[in-house]
Structure 1
Amino acid sequence: MVVIDTWQYFVHRTLHMNSFLYKHIHSKHHKLIVPYACGAQYLHPLEGLFFDGLAGTLAFVASGMTPRTATFFISFATVKAIDDHSELWVSWNPLHLLFRNNSAYHRIHHQPYGMKFNFSNPFFVTWDKLLGTSFAYSLQDRAAGGLEASIRLENPNSLRKLAPTTASSSPATPPAMVELHTHHAHPRTIFNRLHFFVYAAALLALLYRHTALLVSRPAPSSLLLLLADLVLALMWLFSQGFRWRPLIRREFPDRLSAAAAAGSVELPALDVFICTADPYREPPVSVASTALSAMAFDYPASRLSVYVSDDGCSELTLLAFIEAAKFARYWLPFCREKGILERSPEVYFESGNGDGDEEMKIMYERLMDKIEGAVQKGYVDDGLISSPGDQEIFKKWKSFTPRDHPAIIQCEGWRSVFCDPVERPAFLGQAPKSLIDVLRQYRRWTMGLYQVGFSREYTPIFYGTRTASLLVGFCFSHLAFWASRFFPVCVYGLLPQLALFYGGSLNFPKASDPWFYLYAYLVLAAYGQECVEFLENDGSIRRWWNDQRMWMIKGASTFIFGTLDFILSKIGILTPDFNLTSKVNEEEATRLYEKGKFAFGAASPFFLCLATVAVVNLIAFVFGFIRVLRREREAGEMMMQLILSGFILVNAWPVFEAMMQCEGWRSVFCDPVERPAFLGQAPKSLIDGLGQYRRWTMGLYQVGFSREYTPIFYGTRRTSLLVGFCFSHLAFWASHFFPVCVYGLLPQLALFYGGSLTFPKVTQF
């Protein structure tokens, strides 16, 4: 029943949401405004095959029913469908007593106002309830006798979609509309959807194989591989929210001023929040320059607000912003008068563009000298405070502490927009330049994302799908749970290698086994699709390869620590700390970064995990290769584990270089456009970057696992299935840690011990 209900709900909803499928296939069934019993089978032949026939086949295969039981079950489902279309309500009907999905419930779906609701069929209404497509019914007495089913609104706002637009609801003389952007479906949409169905079938076949092996030969390694592939499959499903209907957009920001003047569009209030915590790792001069670049936006001053939060409660940062506010009185009019686009004073004067503006340059140099002098001293002396008003501020400031200070901003909320300019960036900033900074940054992000993903009310699995759509919820879920990739990374990065070292197989298919080609397809198709998308977005093969390498490195390091931080904090063992990433411009890190190299930075436990995975794979690959040469094991039997170990070795090559004390490894972590978008200070080392992802992971998990706002259900209810998928993909992207760990360890362990993990052989048909 669960399989049939799940299959029929999503196929049924797709038939309604897709205009082509509805017009040419499902509309035949909906010619029945007034349903009747035999109308249950009045449908298009293709719908009968895929909607009913395939659903019954899946239920038969998934449950393992005998042919006799399957015959009875399909007959019962057919009787139930006929009763749902019978337009009859009998109080003693056992089908009405056992199932809420009955003739009254389904009648609403066949009415013109209910065609976007009550998709569930034939047994339960669970999916309608979860995804916000349910309209309850109420039975009312008819004057001519009998009962009539009509909708019962539990939430009056839910009928807004059905309310017709009247002429009185629009203004009499609407302003002339100025087109600010256009969009159309990407030509790759059809290919993405075809790939989705083929890839989903391949995933189901792989999970079926894992389950069958686990049932026939129970083993911890088989369970770990199954869980790792389940995590990878779930994260892949979430990522489809981004790919189901990709759009090509074209924006016209040059028309925005004309549109605002014409009254056809109201510019939203834009709030910019700048956070800092440590004046030594985040230099106050750079933070103040970031604030100045934000204040200099080409945007109406009445609609722009810039807020600064100093969690470190440092008087050095306070001095920097007091002086920056004074400098802004001259700098902002100067930028507008000269038409300067790079409105960060730090970048403008360092680029040499301000050589002719000596007066402004001298003012900025005095500002820098004053702030840097105070930073070198470590305190703000009285000689640096000139005006009485500033002296009064510092008297109050000295009584504040990071844990005891009054709130500067008190409001119920704010209106804001997410700004992601391309042709004319809004900010200038710096990306991480060392591996340690990147890992630290991702560690913080991991914790933050987990907190969102696992929050009770705002998890994107439920909240996102309810308030937006299923696809939007999937997108947020993918982000919230992206750190869960650490599990498959660890499993596939260690378990097969240890088995390879000891001569085990871990039930991986032999090279001659047809299942081997299934594994090959899943890997090559996933990598191929991402590569095509990367190249279409003006990327390069080198950048794409480094991107794949980075998510494996994060999965084997920062996602693990971020997940542990989140779990320990939830059970009360650990209080989450805030590890800052270094924003200081270190000459050596900058030199390597300009050469396209990524410095590893300081020593860190992050690198212990990376080095362990790299060394285990190297040893397992050598031992497995020696066993093949000695003919202790067949090459086809060990092929899957050898390929997996070799692939991880290639990705881990920078780790070996770092262990041999090289300068760094070539990478393109940040690819700014001609004029960078933000002047801020981002992590410059991989350890800081991974630490940041650790925080994000925790935040995304809190959203993904929140009770009311998880994108899987909340997003699909409020928007659509695909949008929910997108948000779910974002909310749960950290869950990749599990398949990464499984495929990074289990096959390698089996290869190390001489096992095969039941991977198929290349030559087996």
Structure 2
Amino acid sequence: MGRVEYSPLFETRRCRGRFIYRSFAISLFVAICFIWHYRFSHITKGEDGNWAWLGMLASELWFGFYWVLTQALRWNLVFRQPFKNRLSQRYEKKLPRVDIFVCTADPDIEPAMMVINTVLSVMAYDYPTEKLSVYLSDDAGSQITFYALLEASNFAKHWVPFCKRFKVEPRSPSAYFKSLVSSGYPTDPSQAKELGNIKKLYDEMEKRIEDATKFGEVAKEARLKHMGFSQWDSYSSRRDHDTILQILLHKNDHNNSKDVDGFVLPALVYLAREKRPQYFHNFKAGAMNSLLRVSSNISNGKIILNVDCDMYSNNSQSVRDALCFFMDEEKGQEIAYVQFPQTFENATKNDLYGGSLTSILEVEFPGLDGYGGPLYAGTGCFHKRESLCGMKFSDQYCNDWNSEDDQFKEANLQELEQQSKVLASCNYEENTLWGKEMGLKYGCPVEDVITGLSIQCQGWKSVYYNPPRKAFLGLAPTTLPQTLVQHKRWSEGDLQILLSKYSPAWYGFGRINFGLQMGYSVYCLWAPNCLATLYYSIIPSLYLLKGIPLFPKVTKQSLS
């Protein structure tokens, strides 16, 4: 028999124009060397401004060093292209379970309607619904958020089949209705009629949720309709309460698991992990680790997607795109996570504060991908559960997509809830490796970056994919105070990584590609870079007021 030709599920192509850019970079480095030579050759002792001159030299040495590091992000750009048709041909009946984590923490900043629009958008993925499970982590333990999710579970029975029947994009109801204003309403009579009914249901749901938000509580009539509200009887505050867990939709609940067309809906779970004043909750990392444990007991999907509550799905094919990388027969074994870009729908035209992160998403992440993969950005990322839970990669590792069993087929939902609550308790992680070697790392403001670095240092690789139709759309900071707060957290967290045992300089040495080490160092040195920048911006101006120049004088001879 002839050998069957291997057809990859994705291809990797290198950026065109690399030779031109590298030639430019080399010429620029030569120019930088001339600047260094000038500074060194004009150092004089005992003259006014000598110390300032040395400071300028130190700043320029730093800028040159930092510029060299940034070349790792531009030297070897690669771009990916998945082949979803090949995935369907080979694995349509063997697609793995996918667990989706949506995280929210403050109902005042993250309104309930925004949260459930994100939840509904991921529930409507173009993927077998019986293999999808959606988990909402509510770190505020808000009754209103729970009520909104309960309303969304009922609305999903109409919304999910509507999306699949008419191939709706995007699948966030709010975003879809807004898009109709510019794209136009459907001309097909049946679709137009269904759209009218769906819009009416959505408006009614929105009014009920907005009323509850306005009054700060859920109406008594609504509370009596669902026993889940009884879990708030022992609730003291958002920082002091028991674990609140409710499985709202599940295929084992035969009375409340199907849409209006009779098809099973994705599982839907609400979780507010236990919080006590005497226990530090570790912010988003703690919430994600609780979700990891709880989901392993309820659905145990091999693939995990985590998204922020303000980052709705804009592309219903994203799950299949990601699986093309994970399930590739030759290269999929070593891939731990697939990172999609954070794209923003509210970016201003001029983008004064760089909130759209264009250079990072369009240039730097593809550059990191050329050396082993991008960093983990904290949202819009698909993970293998095994790698996220601390497994090290080895050459003997092999994807086993057929090993998913039916341990949950006959599970009793009340028993599942009670068993899972223990996994989200405050003291569960005591004397365990959670937050250290398992799950997301604790003790760092940028828990996502340090977790991604740790995963890559364990032998795994990652992939960056920026599809033509953006996978996720969210909200970027649009004011200076918002931008400063965000950049402060990033800079502080990245510097903390640099000074910790997980520094790419020594922890990554020998574990990841040297180019990837350089790339991580660019972000870890964001904060120190400001010192040289401030010096270079302020000192020359002050000395110029004293008549002491710190830059070469332009003369007629130099111009001739």
Shorter-chain TM-score bucket reads: 0.5 to 0.7
What secondary structure sits across from 2:554 in the alignment? Answer: coil
Question: Residues 36 and 61 of structure 2 are in contact (CA less than 8 Å); yes or no, is this contact kept in structure 1?
Answer: yes
Distance 1:237 1:391, change over 3 A: same
Partners in 1 of 2:27 and 2:343 — Cα distance? 43
Matches within 5 A, 1:146-165: none
Counterpart check, 1:691 vs 2:509: no
Partners in 2 of 1:335 and 1:374 — Cα distance? 27
Partner residue, 1:740: 533
Question: Residues 239 and 726 of structure 1 are in contact (CA less than 8 Å); yes or no, is this contact kept in structure 2?
Answer: yes
Structure 2 residue identity aligned to 1:299: Y
Counterpart check, 1:700 vs 2:485: no
User: Deviations along 1:567-597, whole A, 9 cap, x unmatched?
Assistant: xxxxxxxx9999xxxxxxxxxxxxxxxxxxx
Partner residue, 2:519: 726
The correspondence for 1:242, drawn from 61, 67, 73, is: 73
Counterpart check, 1:203 vs 2:32: yes
What secondary structure sits across from 2:76 in the alignment? Answer: coil
Partners in 2 of 1:198 and 1:681 — Cα distance? 39
Higher relative contact order (CA 8 A, sep 6+): 1
Structure 2 residue identity aligned to 1:347: A
What secondary structure sits across from 1:184 in the alignment? Answer: strand
Partner residue, 2:207: 369
Measured after TM superposition, the shift of residue 343 of structure 1 is 0.6
Partners in 2 of 1:182 and 1:382 — Cα distance? 56
Partners in 2 of 1:744 and 1:380 — Cα distance? 55
Structure 1 residue identity aligned to 2:198: M
Question: Residues 469 and 719 of structure 1 are in contact (CA less than 8 Å); yes or no, is this contact kept in structure 2?
Answer: no
What secondary structure sits across from 1:385 in the alignment? Answer: helix
Question: Residues 315 and 472 of structure 2 are in contact (CA less than 8 Å); yes or no, is this contact kept in structure 1?
Answer: no
Counterpart check, 1:278 vs 2:82: no
Question: Residues 99 and 304 of structure 2 are in contact (CA less than 8 Å); yes or no, is this contact kept in structure 1?
Answer: yes
Aligned-residue Cα RMSD (Å) equals 4.5
What secondary structure sits across from 1:698 in the alignment? Answer: helix
Counterpart check, 1:754 vs 2:547: yes
Structure 1 residue identity aligned to 2:523: L
Partners in 2 of 1:275 and 1:436 — Cα distance? 27
Partner residue, 1:356: 193
What secondary structure sits across from 2:529 in the alignment? Answer: helix
What secondary structure sits across from 1:718 in the alignment? Answer: coil
What secondary structure sits across from 2:81 in the alignment? Answer: strand
User: Deviations along 1:18-71, whole A, 9 cap, x unmatched?
Assistant: xxxxxxxxxxxxxxxxxxxxxxxxxxxxxxxxxxxxxxxxxxxxxxxxxxxxxx
Question: Residues 101 and 306 of structure 2 are in contact (CA less than 8 Å); yes or no, is this contact kept in structure 1?
Answer: no
Distance 1:351 1:389, change over 3 A: same
Measured after TM superposition, the shift of residue 344 of structure 1 is 0.5
The correspondence for 1:431, drawn from 346, 359, 372, is: 346
Partner residue, 1:617: none
Q: For structure 1, which runs of at least 5 residues remain unmatched after alignment? A: 1-171, 443-467, 481-574, 579-671
Partners in 2 of 1:729 and 1:471 — Cα distance? 14
Partners in 2 of 1:287 and 1:438 — Cα distance? 26
Greater Cα radius of gyration, structure 1 or 2: 1
Structure 2 residue identity aligned to 1:384: A
Measured after TM superposition, the shift of residue 710 of structure 1 is 2.3
Partners in 2 of 1:221 and 1:705 — Cα distance? 29
The correspondence for 1:232, drawn from 63, 82, 89, is: 63
Partner residue, 1:179: 8
Matches within 5 A, 1:249-288: 249-261=80-92, 270-288=98-116
The correspondence for 1:313, drawn from 141, 144, 148, is: 141
Partner residue, 1:392: 230
The correspondence for 1:290, drawn from 118, 121, 140, is: 118
Question: Residues 295 and 306 of structure 1 are in contact (CA less than 8 Å); yes or no, is this contact kept in structure 2?
Answer: yes
Measured after TM superposition, the shift of residue 294 of structure 1 is 1.8
Partners in 2 of 1:384 and 1:370 — Cα distance? 10
The structure with the greater share of residues assigned to helix is: 1
User: Deviations along 1:483-534, whole A, 9 cap, x unmatched?
Assistant: xxxxxxxxxxxxxxxxxxxxxxxxxxxxxxxxxxxxxxxxxxxxxxxxxxxx
Partner residue, 2:510: 717
Residue identity over aligned pairs, in percent, reads 26
The structure with the greater share of residues assigned to strand is: 2
Matches within 5 A, 1:316-331: 316-331=144-159
Question: Residues 471 and 723 of structure 1 are in contact (CA less than 8 Å); yes or no, is this contact kept in structure 2?
Answer: yes
Question: Residues 434 and 683 of structure 1 are in contact (CA less than 8 Å); yes or no, is this contact kept in structure 2?
Answer: no
Distance 1:338 1:424, change over 3 A: closer
User: What TM-score, normalized by structure 1, do the two folds share?
Assistant: 0.42
Question: Residues 144 and 209 of structure 2 are in contact (CA less than 8 Å); yes or no, is this contact kept in structure 1?
Answer: yes
Partners in 1 of 2:37 and 2:163 — Cα distance? 64
Question: Residues 235 and 733 of structure 1 are in contact (CA less than 8 Å); yes or no, is this contact kept in structure 2?
Answer: no
Question: Residues 436 and 688 of structure 1 are in contact (CA less than 8 Å); yes or no, is this contact kept in structure 2?
Answer: no
Distance 1:738 1:764, change over 3 A: farther
Counterpart check, 1:382 vs 2:220: yes
User: Deviations along 1:221-254, whole A, 9 cap, x unmatched?
Assistant: 2344234334422332221112222234434344
Question: Residues 11 and 80 of structure 2 are in contact (CA less than 8 Å); yes or no, is this contact kept in structure 1?
Answer: yes
Measured after TM superposition, the shift of residue 369 of structure 1 is 0.5
Question: Residues 315 and 379 of structure 1 are in contact (CA less than 8 Å); yes or no, is this contact kept in structure 2?
Answer: yes
User: What TM-score, normalized by structure 2, do the two folds share?
Assistant: 0.56
Question: Residues 504 and 517 of structure 2 are in contact (CA less than 8 Å); yes or no, is this contact kept in structure 1?
Answer: yes
Partners in 1 of 2:170 and 2:25 — Cα distance? 43
User: Deviations along 1:130-184, whole A, 9 cap, x unmatched?
Assistant: xxxxxxxxxxxxxxxxxxxxxxxxxxxxxxxxxxxxxxxxxx9998643333233
Distance 1:323 1:175, change over 3 A: farther
Measured after TM superposition, the shift of residue 693 of structure 1 is 1.7
Structure 1 residue identity aligned to 2:56: L
Question: Residues 444 and 497 of structure 2 are in contact (CA less than 8 Å); yes or no, is this contact kept in structure 1?
Answer: no
Measured after TM superposition, the shift of residue 311 of structure 1 is 3.0
Measured after TM superposition, the shift of residue 296 of structure 1 is 1.7
What number of residue pairs does the alignment pair up?
Answer: 375
Q: For structure 2, which runs of at least 5 residues remain unmatched after alignment? A: 186-190, 244-272, 275-289, 297-301, 319-341, 358-367, 379-442, 447-465
User: Deviations along 1:61-99, whole A, 9 cap, x unmatched?
Assistant: xxxxxxxxxxxxxxxxxxxxxxxxxxxxxxxxxxxxxxx
User: Deviations along 1:513-557, whole A, 9 cap, x unmatched?
Assistant: xxxxxxxxxxxxxxxxxxxxxxxxxxxxxxxxxxxxxxxxxxxxx
Question: Residues 279 and 317 of structure 1 are in contact (CA less than 8 Å); yes or no, is this contact kept in structure 2?
Answer: yes
Measured after TM superposition, the shift of residue 417 of structure 1 is 6.4
Counterpart check, 1:402 vs 2:239: yes
